[in-house]
Chain A
């Protein structure tokens, strides 16, 4: 199953840049920085956003490449896991690298993306609505970004406050990652603790490209909603704690906390009080059980094939 998923995913996604024809588009290349507290784990990657008609795709350029980490000089021991590549950064740090692809369909009001599961090296497909942000537009339009006048807007999202700069002149909608819902194309975003910073460095207008298609449409894998993903993620976390308690953690892939988790500070805050004791694990199990009942999910991920 993993191999089939891997082949479809990589064969299709890798060909995205070659698939376009004859429709005007907007393309932005961004530098995306994730500034974790752990300096070794900080990343700076290049992502591209392409908008054609009422669809867009946002993806990084990392295909089995280790070039995104500032500490690439100390990367060692790469190993394939699922659809990602596991690399060892230093004695205590490993990560799994895979291509990120996020597809938006504005007519259907949907986002679909691949999200990692903790300590498994596996990914799930997650679908969300485009209406994730309750933006408060700030009245001044004085910021100039790559020559385009931008206006600022603020929104709270999953425990963090973000400021986005958008240009109505560039395009009527669109933005990197899940950021969207403003009356213009979002050129730059950062959260107030500077944990997550997206800056543009190249804009390409009117390149003639093929219409975008959902890159996941041919994968026989069900799309989870956000709540279901958090549940499956929580299961993975519980299993990991059990492995640690049993002294078997060394047999699990030692992956760091994935971005889908890091981007939700509320989960990080909830996890702060967790420890690996019988009572704590029992508490987590109880909560997951209740969530499964509410979402009508089984013990593990209850997805149909």
Chain B
């Protein structure tokens, strides 16, 4: 029962006005038109589609002043008659021209479009360099992982096609910035077109839109040659080919460098896990003997002394409207040289320990990998997808260690990692708002490792070599059936599945004696099986400004450990709920709460009960347990993002309690340390607070980015057979980033960062504290047309108590980009003050450690860039 409005619209003389708009609004929201009609021959009539509490009627007509009337509490099912008399406006109208400026950003519903040229200052080479400058987008310096509005992106597509999957860093680290016109950030990304409108997943993605002359075949090549300290040659080359036609898209890359750059989406230097590996953790076997990695806080490009070859071919073929095939091929080979000096001083139960070690490593990873994806639309409403992946990674790491400045060891770690995965997914749409999926995944992962040590650590007087073999083999299979749908305001997902995870671990420690005999030491031979049947449900709905999400998982888990000493099995019935509530306070601000409970089996990494030697200093063993870890977590989030005004604010508080965990009993001896992991149903608490604010002042021409975090971790351990110690580690971090974007020849980028770590133990009064500070300042000067110079100064104080032990780095580059030329040039110098190493301090609950690691030496290089 709605109201009907009728009336007349005339001018002051009573002449009817045609083409006048009659706009219907809520009285308290005069800016939003809800319904409308137009007058014909001065008359109008409109039956409203909905009822209004307080009605506002605006009348507008060309060359006439507008008029409005408000009707309070209009009666339902009534007809109202209005007579509007509009005044003619005779004014001298000045001509106005409005042109679109170089738009930084365009916001439309769930897509934000950034214009690449608006963020460039000329010093950028690859699209990743520009992504870092876009508000709302953050890029991890080392791994290349991208997040948008606080969420990790699902993928980066190229003209709408997903060429790279989770390994999108291949594209973002290597596609030339000149090729890209716009970057689109898309909320509610769905990889499966059949699930659009059905799936509520909150995933985000980026899409690169190319310049229109970059279709067919285009590419870029750069070659750099220079000199590094000690007469070494600095070389860098990066060659890309991009092919786009109506049925084919491809991106090929060939790169080499020995100047610390990482063109790959993988990280063998710092060993940061890729987004893909994080998602696929359950399918991969762990490496029991850890690889050598660097823990420097500096960017990889300062400390990664490398020689990296990388080749990659990525292509999507659209054979016809139904078939498409995607393939990705990778080859990577690297030589990473590392030198580290470490010193540890601590006291435990009245005993003092001092370790000082020098370690030289030469890590040589080689990786081959091929991925194949086939998609076939069996009909208009069904899709069959098949994914296949095979990879082989070999890492050889010779290591030279000098323990306590006296004992010298040569060791060699050879690791292999063979991985094979197959995935079959069938999606059938049932009606407009429902779909059914069947999913089967199978994977095999084999990780054999051999560590050899000379002389022997176990029998230094009689044996001249120790050899630790370790092999972890995993076979995983999972099948799942999923029903997705949308009903009313809500979307639901129900799934039923089962999985079988079989793990086989063997290890053998042996020593070769001087008399030629082989002595056998600790060994492990175990099988760990995990089987589960599960049912999960998700329901998300919204009402006005509220969004509610309820998730649950019910599963039956069976674990079985077959070993020589302590075979065990365990069954558990697990219920895991999760509740999320969102409230949209205002248009751009969102407040959310989440609370959940999970139960995880931890056994996989702590299965072996006999000793495994992991380096000249340390060995590990476990007291296996099939107990489950309970994880309770709560979070509160506030997010304000007005992309149109380039402002984002994010605050977050999370608390989690892990009940039950593997704790470590550290046994320190003169030369070695033994770690014994055991399960205790004790809590580990983690409280984290985060705050960040980002604002681009377009009129004042600068950008400010402030972030800070505070984290308190409460955990337990045992040192040298002590009682269970209650420890706490508190970390405070603050960062201020200021960038100017003047239209002048000179601009600046200034970054200040402060960190504080406090570590303490309940029974001990002393607290171990360390504070560090870094300051990075870049000046960008525009020289003659098409050329820029950038000078960067990085100043680090690893320990504020020892300000004299500070490090100062200086880098410079000059870029010359002649207009209308396919070539451009760059002269670059890194680490011009030739700092050879960098030291950092780490605190723990039992003492200090100091690490000093080598750096990439000074080099100067001339690069030539060519694009077509």
Say yes or no: A107-B18 contact (C-beta < 8 A), given A141-B32, A183-B23, A205-B93. yes
Docked complex: B817-831 residues within 8 A CB-CB of A: none
Given A37, A139, A201, which contacts B246 in the complex, CB threshold below 8 Å? A37
The verdict on B354 contacting chain A, using a C-beta distance below 8 Å, is no
Q: Which of A106, A147, A183, A201 contacts B33 (CB 8 A)?
A: A183
- In the complex formed, the residue of A with least CB distance to B21 is A183
Contact (Cβ within 8 A) A183 B246: no
- The 8 Å CB contact of A163, one of B21, B109, B215, is B109
Bound CA–CA A201/B115 (angstroms): 14
**In the complex, what residues of B have CB within 8 A of residue A168's CB?**
21, 23, 33, 60
Known: A139-B32, A149-B31. A40 touches B246 (CB 8 A): yes
Given contacts A44-B212, A205-B93, A206-B96, contact A151 B32 (CB under 8 A): yes
Residue on B with the closest CB to A31? B100
User: In the complex the two chains form, what is the Cα distance from A53 to B31 in whole Å?
Assistant: 25
Name the one of A107, A144, A151, A204 contacting B644, with C-beta atoms under 8 angstroms. A144
Question: With a CB–CB cut-off of 8 A, which chain A residues contact B244?
Answer: 39
Q: Does A122 contact B (CB under 8 A)?
A: no
Asked whether, in the complex, the Cβ of A205 is within 8 Å of the Cβ of B60, the reply is no
A140 touches B587 (CB 8 A): yes
Is B33's CB under 8 angstroms from A172's CB? Answer: no
Interface string of A113-151 (1 = CB under 8 A from B): 000000000000000000000000101111110110101
- For B26, the closest partner residue in chain A by CB is A139
A28 — nearest CB in chain B belongs to which residue?
B98
CB-nearest residue of chain A to B97: A204
Given A39-B244, A173-B21, does the pair A143, B108 have CB atoms closer than 8 Å? yes
With beta carbons under 8 angstroms apart, the residue of B20, B61, B100, B245 that contacts A202 is: B100
Nearest Cβ distance between residue A22 and chain B, in whole angstroms? 12
Complex: A146 Cα to B33 Cα, angstroms? 20
CB-CB under 8 A from B212, the residues of chain A are: 44, 70
A144 to B31, CA, bound (A): 13
Give chain B residues whose Cβ lies under 8 Å from the Cβ of A213.
Answer: none
Docked-complex contact A203 and B38, CB < 8 angstroms: no
Partner of B95, one of A73, A106, A202, A206: A206
**Interchain CB contact under 8 A, A54 and B19:** yes
Shortest Cβ distance from residue A176 to the other chain B in the assembled complex, whole angstroms:
15
Distance between B380 CB and nearest chain A CB, rounded to angstroms: 10
> How distant is A75 from chain B, measured CB to nearest CB, in Å?
14
Question: In residues 244-290 of chain B, which contact A (Cβ within 8 Å)?
Answer: 244-246
Contacts of A183 in B (CB 8 A): 21, 23, 33, 36, 38, 60
Rounded to whole Å, the gap between the CB of A41 and the closest CB of chain B is 8
Give the residue name and chain of the A residue nearest to B63 (CB).
A24
From residue 174 to 191 of chain A, which have CB atoms closer than 8 A to chain B? 182-184
Q: Verify if B680 is at the interface (C-beta below 8 Å from A).
A: no
Question: Nearest chain-B residue to A73 (Cβ)?
Answer: B213
The residue of chain B having its C-beta at the shortest distance from the C-beta of A93 within the complex is B246
Chain A's nearest CB lies how many Å from the CB of B590? 15
Which of A40, A142, A152, A204 lies in contact with B96, CB distance below 8 A? A204
Chain A residue numbers with a CB within 8 Å of B100 are 146, 200-202
Candidate in B32, B33, B95, B108 with the most chain A CB atoms within 10 angstroms: B33
> A-facing mask of B77-110, CB < 8 A → 1, else 0?
0000000000000000111111110000001110
Q: Does A160 contact B (CB under 8 A)?
A: no
Q: Give the CA-CA distance A39 to B33 in the complex, in Å.
A: 38
B34 on the A face (CB < 8 A): yes
Report the minimum CB–CB distance from B580 to chain A (whole Å).
24
Interface size on B, residues (CB 8 A): 36
Among A107, A147, A171, contact of B62 (Cβ-Cβ < 8 Å): A171
Is A71 part of the contact surface with B, judged by Cβ < 8 Å?
yes
Q: At the interface, yes or no: A207 with Cβ under 8 Å from chain B?
A: yes
Q: Does B35 contact A (CB under 8 A)?
A: yes
Contacts of A70 in B (CB 8 A): 212-213, 215
Contacts A139-B32, A173-B38: A207 and B60 contacting too (C-beta < 8 A)? no
Cα separation A89 to B516 with both chains bound (whole Å): 78
Q: Which residue of A lies closest to B101 (CB)?
A: A146
Within 8 A of B (CB), among A34-55: 37-40, 44, 53-54
Cα distance, A200 to B93, chains bound together (Å): 22
B21 touches A172 (CB 8 A): yes
Cβ–Cβ contact A137 & B60, under 8 A: no
Measured in the bound complex, the distance between the Cα atoms of B34 and A139 in whole Å is 6
- Could you mark each residue 14-43 of chain A with 1 if its beta carbon is under 8 Å from any beta carbon of chain B, else 0? 000000000010000000000001111000
Chain B, residue nearest A203 (CB):
B98
Complex CA distance for A183 and B244, rounded to whole angstroms: 42
Q: Select the residue from A71, A144, A183 with max chain B CB neighbours within 10 A.
A: A183
- Distance of A201 Cα from B102 Cα, bound (Å): 10
For residue A142, give the distance in angstroms from its CB to the closest CB of chain B.
6
Which residues of chain B are within 8 angstroms of A200 by Cβ–Cβ distance? 100
Q: How far is the CA of A106 from the CA of B246 in the complex (A)?
A: 41
Task: Give Cα A201–Cα B99 distance, bound, in whole angstroms.
Answer: 6
Distance of B583 from chain A, by nearest CB (Å): 17
Which residues of B37-93 have CB atoms within 8 Å of chain A's CB atoms? 38, 60-62, 93
Q: How far is the CA of A163 from the CA of B109 in the complex (A)?
A: 10
What residue in chain B is nearest A190 (Cβ atoms)?
Answer: B108
CB distance from B51 to the nearest CB of A (A): 15
Bitwise interface map of B from 1 to 44 toward A, beta carbon under 8 Å scored 1, else 0? 00000000000000000111101000001011111101000000
Give A47 to B244 CA distance when docked, in angstroms. Answer: 27
Q: Which of A149, A172, A203 contacts B61 (CB 8 A)?
A: A172
In the complex, are the beta carbons of A39 and B97 less than 8 A apart?
no
Contact: B33 with A141, CB < 8 Å? yes
- In the complex, what distance in Å separates the CA atom of A187 from the CA atom of B523? 74
Which residues on the B side are within 8 Å of A205 (C-beta)? 93, 95-98
Q: Considering the complex, give the chain B residue whose CB is closest to the CB of A147.
A: B98
Chain B residues with Cβ below 8 Å from A146 are: 98-100
Tell me the smallest distance from the CB of A116 to a CB of chain B, in Å: 22
Contacts of A208 in B (CB 8 A): 95
A147–B100 CA distance with the chains assembled, in angstroms: 9
Q: How far is the CB of A117 from chain B (nearest CB, A)?
A: 25
**How far does the Cβ of B100 sit from chain A's closest Cβ, in whole Å?**
5
CA distance A189 to B8 in the complex (A): 32
Chain A residues positioned under 8 Å from B99 (CB to CB): 146, 201-203
Q: Is the CB of A137 within 8 A of B35?
A: yes
Complex contacts, B21 vs chain A, CB 8 Å: 168, 172-173, 183-184
Residues on A with C-beta less than 8 A from B107 are: 143
On whether A172 and B245 interact (CB within 8 A), knowing A151-B32, A163-B109, the answer reads: no
Query: Known contacts A200-B100, A203-B98, A204-B95: does B215 contact A172 (CB below 8 Å)?
Result: no
Residues in A193-222 with C-beta less than 8 Å from chain B: 200-208
Given A40-B246, A173-B19, A140:B32 Cβ within 8 A:
yes
> Bound state CA distance, A139 and B158, in angstroms?
33
Beta-carbon contact of A202 and B97 below 8 Å: yes
Task: Report chain B residues within 8 Å CB of A142.
Answer: 587, 644
How far is A52 from B204 in the complex, measured between Cα atoms in Å? Answer: 44
Residues of A within 8 A of B31 (CB): 141, 149
Task: Give CA–CA (A182, B244) in the complex, Å.
Answer: 39
Measured CB to CB, the closest approach of chain B to A38, in angstroms, equals 5
A137 contact set on B, CB distance < 8 A? 33-36
The smallest beta-carbon distance between B697 and chain A, in angstroms, is 17
A-facing residues in B762-783 (Cβ within 8 Å): none
Greatest chain A CB density within 10 A among B20, B60, B61 is at B60
Q: With contacts A141-B32, A207-B95 known, what are 9 further pairs, Cβ within 8 A?
A: A106-B19, A140-B32, A143-B108, A172-B19, A183-B21, A183-B33, A183-B38, A184-B21, A203-B98
Chain A residues within CB distance 8 Å of chain B: 24, 37-40, 44, 53-54, 70-71, 73, 106-107, 137, 139-144, 146-147, 149, 151-152, 163, 168, 171-173, 182-184, 200-208
Chosen A-B contacts, 13 in total, with CB atoms closer than 8 Å, are A39-B244, A39-B245, A54-B19, A137-B33, A139-B29, A139-B32, A146-B99, A172-B20, A183-B23, A183-B36, A184-B21, A203-B98, A204-B95
Q: Which 9 A-B pairs have the closest CB atoms?
A: A206-B93, A70-B212, A183-B21, A183-B36, A203-B98, A205-B96, A38-B246, A201-B100, A39-B246
